Amino acid sequence: MLNNKIGIDLGTTNILVYLPNKGIVVQEPSVVAVESNGRKIMAIGKEAHNMLGRTPDSVTAVRPLLNGAIANFRVTEAMLKYYINQVVGRIRFTKPEVMISVPAGITSTEKRAVIDATINAGARNAYLIKEPIAAALGADIKISTPSGHMIIDIGGGTTEVAVISLSDIVTSSSARIAGNQIDQSIVSYIRKKNKLIIGKQTAEEIKIRIGSCLPLEKELSMEVSGSNSITGLPESQILKTNDIIDPIKSVLNDIISTIKNVLQKTPPELASDIMDKGIVITGGSAHLREIEKLLTKIIGVPCQIADNPETCVVKGTGIAIGHLSEYKRSLLWGK
């Protein structure tokens, strides 16, 4: 079967590619290594990610997307072309149709940039789908009914909060605050409290290995290496879960404000549906320990994490590209 339909989750942190007949075929970091003069692409994906913070002056490892939007058009286009060629082959008789997920609050300029980059990368047609819609589809939520469903998609660069009914968004909000901001918060907090300078990759590892939104019965610990902020010399320290709850919660408080804002704008009938069904959390940051318990406690609405939350958006793009006529109303049309 020809791979003439492709779904892509073009995330700030990771890019995932879905083929309707095969499932997820690519899941790699959204990182590209380029020569500092910007002329030559050196590496893409995992290989480029391994270069972050470790490159000489002649090479720069960059994330071409920032907070869910294209920050470097040429590099984004090169990354898309690389992965499209990888899944459909460089030699093909027809160009594929491509569905890309984008933040619900995307501007017209940002929308045009994504469409143009996708067409230039080799797509015959490019379609855009709002991330909350894609996440809900990927989480197997029946969004076509006249009933309210609330989705919280916490990715790397953006958090999308939306109430969906009849296959479209009733009310929503996009906050450019998510997993990457949690990493930065951990970096700043450890530097201030522990006098230890660490990089964002180390902060992400701390978040994944010992991070939690609430205190744990059995606290986790890990050894962390960096530079002493006073002496400048290498140093290692043992960090525990309770050491990093505060910087995690400081970012989540902003996300919680976004959630409350959407709930306050939700029509009463749909709010009643949400109380009955609960809120579904998707996105890679849904793996943060105890996040559903924290949100349930503060918001007062039952929250649950979707199965495989980090792949819900790309799975939803695959469903949408495979059933275009059914989800026309959910799409931001491309060309």
User: Annotated binding residue at 206?
Assistant: yes
Collapsing DSSP to helix, strand or coil, 59 comes out as: strand
Residue 144, token pair as written in the block? 């076509």
Collapsing DSSP to helix, strand or coil, 187 comes out as: helix
User: Annotated binding residue at 156?
Assistant: yes
Residues 6+ away with beta carbon under 8 Å from 250: 185
Within 10 Å of residue 112's Cβ, how many Cβ atoms? 14
CB 7 within 8 A of CB 26: no
User: Annotated binding residue at 204?
Assistant: yes
User: Annotated binding residue at 130?
Assistant: no
The length of the chain in residues reads 335
Q: How far is CA 176 from the centre of its chain?
A: 11
User: Annotated binding residue at 158?
Assistant: yes
Residues 6+ away with beta carbon under 8 Å from 278: 301, 302, 303, 304
User: Annotated binding residue at 232?
Assistant: no
User: Annotated binding residue at 28?
Assistant: no
Give the start-end residues of each E strand in the chain. 5-10, 14-19, 23-29, 32-35, 41-44, 59-62, 65-66, 69-70, 97-102, 125-130, 149-154, 159-165, 168-175, 196-197, 221-228, 234-240, 279-282, 303-305, 331-332
- Annotated binding residues for ATP, written as ranges, equal 156-158, 204-207
Binding site residue list: 156-158, 204-207
